[in-house]
A and B are shown apart, each in its own frame.
Chain A
């Protein structure tokens, strides 16, 4: 197998991308027509890539499992997208965005990739505005910004609480324009089941038509996986129900290394779990932390009384509230990065200060913001001697204007009015920084197989900053892959159409058909979700917000047991040749189970704490940073890239050592 070559171009960091673009090979317009590219997934990365490549003249086939390309899970991103535009004149720059992202990722990302991301970020905003994306604007008609966690500038562009939706619909409109022109063939309700590798190169995929059940072969000169993250390995997450790892995992089994699988982002502000029937968790945007203050009672008796329903949050006087983020991290306060905020919430709840029935919730309180805005409005509107009720009303209107849709969403789910009672929130799985290992060109260890967006490991290190996922998806799709894929395809201008009758396609198709046959004829007794729920619990308990060696070893044993029982006892009703949602789930859960084990192996191997990966064995024991995560740069400043060795639980570790020439490795402090 190949060794890891990150292919970082030479030269100073701010010249690398420009020089690289200027020197790599390109494919002439007349030759692009002879080249086929498969794009799997139509979120920000996939939608943007498919549209851009088709505009350039390639023949593109795009796939998504949803009924329309417009439904990819990028659509659910709420808060915003970062870009180093410095419209606020607050000292932002490409370098500062780069620096914040490397630091936010706890120094576990590749400098060159992150710099490029920061560099193209401004183009993304220009592109989206040109497409008709309705970003928020101020009264002068210019674009508005807000701030997000882990940074001290306002560089986040947004479209109310629906930024992901608007950006995705922008990419979708560009994609549909190409579909209308016939340059993109769209395959919705299709699920990729395997990558086909011919003579060491990715040459196509096997996909299932989810309506007819037909297994199809599609050949291409390059395959782009833009299939999102794998947070649903935890069963409960903020991901969409259909989000899955299958495409990436099958690619892994065909030779693509999996990078840093254990890096999971647990988002601090989600609606807490309410019962066993729960199918997913709902995020409350990080933007709420601009105005909401997070707290628990100072006295454990108060917390107990709240849990028992004897007291309410509003009964606790100001002096008896512990605004623990403001207390622990005065410089960043409620806007510390997500991993830090999540761990702090867990720490308080574990210590017995949780504020709902399960003991796993903290308050996110807007009463101070309502007061502040109310007084401001009273001044602006010249309301003299405003009564407390008037101030409240005026302030509520401002908060509603800013976050109304989120407050409505909360009230729908919880059945409690968040304008009157502080929201209750708790961390939940939200994003996965890990993913297929890619080089600077976004190519995996399988030539011709590229990976973009959340599905790759590349830009966020061990923790992603808020509003950076949208930035990465669009950067990869619009501004990186259109250049880098050409360098690879320059060798393929004489190849001609890929023959899908080759034995490699036969074998891959047979493997998938056999697996489906097994599921449908298994005569088991338990639905797929039973196993998924069990897997999720093991992952959350032992490979979640805090991890330790013993727990991880236990988890590996438990996951193996779940895997064995899954194959023996799973029941999948219906037939292969029909719309069969249980069959879809079975395939996805089979892959999640194998991935879960690798995540635990990776977490066990990484005996340090960094970003979202917190090893209990590795924390500061004393001094001002007591209890904070402790990195071990000497031994772990590398990307762990795992090679599949033919069966689940067997994997070979390759290391890409990370070099930091621009940013000095220091302890990440938000104090």
Chain B
């Protein structure tokens, strides 16, 4: 085992109706090779052995792609490093004796389920409102190469599509806005010929659902872009605004 000592201050909240509070957890023997979540595993192992309630946190793939992990570490979504998720954060980024605050995503649209776990169902509902191309499964489609796509457009669409839906953008935003998330999806499809035919309806419907889910407004602060583990660009928000405006003006 390692030799770092840390003072963890972790948010505990027993269900959405509980008020919740920060509790202190001193931990020893933290190795710098551990990931942040492995450090919490070790703490939980200890808590279970002592008969205490382990800390609930979301996680799954632990390689930065599923978007399930979601910790607010020392005031920053996914912790101090840029362009990684919490599960990719390793303890070598901390120092012996550090105090670390660990909290859940905080946003009106993401109610706390337990401790560090929040409900991000709002993202699914936004996606269901328009985050798709209306194409059924078909056995006799046109050949994939029948419609070339400019490499630059395909690359930009990919950059937007890299969003993992973790919600760090919302957690980072003082307004709790989901504009970066929504704009990434709108952009991916708007940039591809396959997504163009319903680009306008998509922008309108997704934004309408976003507002219904009580996400805040975007005031161009840019914290979302800074904290996004996948480096989704603010350019997408500009594109969403253009699509939305165009859609509003030309509504049939």
Given contacts A127-B138, A159-B158, A240-B66, contact A277 B128 (CB under 8 A): no
A33 to chain B, nearest CB (A): 17
- With an 8 A cutoff between CB atoms, is B68 at the interface? yes
Q: Give Cα A128 to B61, complex, Å.
A: 23
Given contacts A132-B194, A159-B158, A173-B133, contact A70 B141 (CB under 8 A): no
B8 to chain A, nearest CB (A): 16
Would you call B66 and A479 a contact (CB within 8 A)? no
Would you call A173 and B131 a contact (CB within 8 A)? yes
Given contacts A141-B151, A165-B65, contact A127 B132 (CB under 8 A): no
Would you call B141 and A140 a contact (CB within 8 A)? no
Interface centre among B92, B135, B150 (most CB of A within 10 A): B135
Tell which of B117, B135, B138, B151 touches A137, judged by Cβ atoms closer than 8 Å. Answer: B151
Interface centre among A173, A478, A479 (most CB of B within 10 A): A173
Cross-chain pair count, CB within 8 angstroms:
221
Name the residue of chain A whose CB is nearest to the CB of B143.
A126
Name the residue of chain A whose CB is nearest to the CB of B115.
A579
- With an 8 A cutoff between CB atoms, is B129 at the interface? yes
Instruction: Tell me which residues across on chain B come within 8 A of A165, comparing CB atoms.
Output: 65, 162, 164
Would you call A279 and B124 a contact (CB within 8 A)? no
- With an 8 A cutoff between CB atoms, is B174 at the interface? no
Q: Give Cα A162 to B66, complex, Å.
A: 11
Q: Give Cα A413 to B90, complex, Å.
A: 7
Please report which residues of chain B, range 67-110, place their CB below 8 angstroms from some CB of chain A when the two chains form the complex. 67-68, 83-84, 88, 90, 92
B15 to chain A, nearest CB (A): 7
Please report which residues of chain A, range 125-150, place their CB below 8 angstroms from some CB of chain B when the two chains form the complex. 125-132, 134-143
Given contacts A123-B139, A141-B150, A173-B132, contact A132 B35 (CB under 8 A): no
A541 to chain B, nearest CB (A): 22
Would you call B158 and A48 a contact (CB within 8 A)? no
Tell which of A76, A136, A164, A578 touches B15, judged by Cβ atoms closer than 8 Å. Answer: A578
A188 to chain B, nearest CB (A): 7
Given contacts A123-B139, A573-B52, contact A76 B66 (CB under 8 A): yes
A405 to chain B, nearest CB (A): 9
A65 to chain B, nearest CB (A): 9
- With an 8 A cutoff between CB atoms, is A186 at the interface? yes
Would you call A412 and B88 a contact (CB within 8 A)? yes
- With an 8 A cutoff between CB atoms, is B224 at the interface? no
Would you call B49 and A134 a contact (CB within 8 A)? no
Q: Give Cα A174 to B137, complex, Å.
A: 9
Instruction: Tell me which residues across on chain A come within 8 A of B130, comparing CB atoms.
Output: 180
Given contacts A166-B161, A277-B34, contact A573 B137 (CB under 8 A): no
Instruction: Tell me which residues across on chain A come within 8 A of B151, comparing CB atoms.
Output: 137-139, 141
Given contacts A134-B154, A188-B121, contact A527 B137 (CB under 8 A): no
- With an 8 A cutoff between CB atoms, is B204 at the interface? no
Q: Give Cα A66 to B39, complex, Å.
A: 22
Please report which residues of chain A, range 276-335, place their CB below 8 angstroms from some CB of chain B when the two chains form the complex. 276-280, 282-283
- With an 8 A cutoff between CB atoms, is A537 at the interface? no
Q: Give Cα A220 to B133, complex, Å.
A: 29
Instruction: Tell me which residues across on chain A come within 8 A of B252, comparing CB atoms.
Output: none
- With an 8 A cutoff between CB atoms, is A250 at the interface? no
Instruction: Tell me which residues across on chain A come within 8 A of B54, comparing CB atoms.
Output: 573, 581-582
Q: Give Cα A16 to B137, complex, Å.
A: 21
Q: Give Cα A446 to B161, complex, Å.
A: 40
Tell which of A75, A125, A571 touches B65, judged by Cβ atoms closer than 8 Å. Answer: A75
Would you call A579 and B195 a contact (CB within 8 A)? no
Would you call B135 and A130 a contact (CB within 8 A)? yes
Chain B interface, >50% SS class: loop
- With an 8 A cutoff between CB atoms, is A348 at the interface? no
- With an 8 A cutoff between CB atoms, is B183 at the interface? no
Q: Give Cα A166 to B42, complex, Å.
A: 33
Name the residue of chain B whose CB is nearest to the CB of A177.
B132
Instruction: Tell me which residues across on chain A come within 8 A of B64, comparing CB atoms.
Output: 409
- With an 8 A cutoff between CB atoms, is B3 at the interface? no
Instruction: Tell me which residues across on chain B come within 8 A of A276, comparing CB atoms.
Output: 1
- With an 8 A cutoff between CB atoms, is A71 at the interface? yes
B228 to chain A, nearest CB (A): 15
Name the residue of chain B whose CB is nearest to the CB of A278.
B38
Instruction: Tell me which residues across on chain B come within 8 A of A482, comparing CB atoms.
Output: 137
- With an 8 A cutoff between CB atoms, is A87 at the interface? yes
Q: Give Cα A527 to B33, complex, Å.
A: 23
Given contacts A73-B60, A125-B144, A176-B132, contact A571 B48 (CB under 8 A): yes
Name the residue of chain B whose CB is nearest to the CB of A21.
B139
Would you call B62 and A241 a contact (CB within 8 A)? yes
Instruction: Tell me which residues across on chain B come within 8 A of A188, comparing CB atoms.
Output: 121, 124
- With an 8 A cutoff between CB atoms, is B45 at the interface? yes
- With an 8 A cutoff between CB atoms, is B56 at the interface? yes
Q: Give Cα A186 to B45, complex, Å.
A: 33
- With an 8 A cutoff between CB atoms, is A390 at the interface? no
- With an 8 A cutoff between CB atoms, is B176 at the interface? no
Would you call B88 and A241 a contact (CB within 8 A)? no
- With an 8 A cutoff between CB atoms, is B9 at the interface? no
Would you call A574 and B53 a contact (CB within 8 A)? yes
- With an 8 A cutoff between CB atoms, is B127 at the interface? yes
Would you call A277 and B145 a contact (CB within 8 A)? no
Tell which of A73, A137, A408, A479 touches B137, judged by Cβ atoms closer than 8 Å. Answer: A479
Interface centre among B37, B63, B130, B148 (most CB of A within 10 A): B63
For A, the interface residue count at a CB cutoff of 8 angstroms equals: 82
- With an 8 A cutoff between CB atoms, is A423 at the interface? no
For A203-245 the 0/1 string (1 means CB < 8 A from B) is 0000000010000000000000000000000000000111000
Instruction: Tell me which residues across on chain B come within 8 A of A578, comparing CB atoms.
Output: 14-15, 114
- With an 8 A cutoff between CB atoms, is A624 at the interface? no
Tell which of B56, B67, B127, B145 touches A176, judged by Cβ atoms closer than 8 Å. Answer: B127
Would you call A573 and B51 a contact (CB within 8 A)? yes
Given contacts A132-B133, A134-B157, contact A126 B60 (CB under 8 A): no
Instruction: Tell me which residues across on chain A come within 8 A of B226, comparing CB atoms.
Output: none
- With an 8 A cutoff between CB atoms, is A172 at the interface? yes
Given contacts A275-B33, A479-B137, A579-B113, contact A137 B149 (CB under 8 A): yes
Q: Give Cα A186 to B151, complex, Å.
A: 36
Given contacts A75-B61, A242-B60, contact A142 B148 (CB under 8 A): yes
Would you call B59 and A162 a contact (CB within 8 A)? no
Would you call A132 and B66 a contact (CB within 8 A)? no
Would you call A176 and B137 a contact (CB within 8 A)? no
- With an 8 A cutoff between CB atoms, is A8 at the interface? no
Would you call B90 and A275 a contact (CB within 8 A)? no
Q: Give Cα A527 to B54, complex, Å.
A: 11
B120 to chain A, nearest CB (A): 6
- With an 8 A cutoff between CB atoms, is A160 at the interface? yes
Given contacts A130-B141, A162-B162, A574-B53, contact A76 B67 (CB under 8 A): no
Tell which of B60, B124, B142, B149 touches A241, judged by Cβ atoms closer than 8 Å. Answer: B60
- With an 8 A cutoff between CB atoms, is A605 at the interface? no
Q: Give Cα A87 to B145, complex, Å.
A: 9
Would you call A162 and B120 a contact (CB within 8 A)? no
Binding site for A on B (CB under 8 A): 1, 14-15, 31-35, 37-39, 41-42, 44-45, 48-49, 51-54, 56, 58-68, 83-84, 88, 90, 92, 113-114, 117, 119-121, 123-124, 127-139, 141-145, 147-151, 154, 157-158, 161-162, 164-165, 188-189, 192, 194-195
The 6 closest A-B pairs by CB, nearest first: A141-B148, A180-B128, A173-B132, A126-B141, A134-B158, A52-B137
A–B pairs, 28, beta carbons within 8 Å: A48-B137, A55-B136, A68-B123, A71-B68, A75-B65, A129-B147, A134-B158, A135-B154, A140-B148, A142-B148, A159-B161, A165-B162, A176-B131, A180-B129, A186-B124, A211-B113, A275-B31, A275-B34, A276-B1, A277-B33, A279-B35, A282-B63, A412-B84, A479-B137, A571-B49, A578-B15, A579-B15, A579-B114
**18 new A-B contacts at CB < 8 Å, known A68-B67, A132-B195, A573-B48:** A67-B58, A75-B61, A75-B65, A75-B66, A76-B61, A131-B133, A132-B133, A132-B188, A137-B151, A173-B132, A177-B128, A179-B124, A277-B42, A279-B37, A282-B62, A479-B137, A529-B41, A579-B56
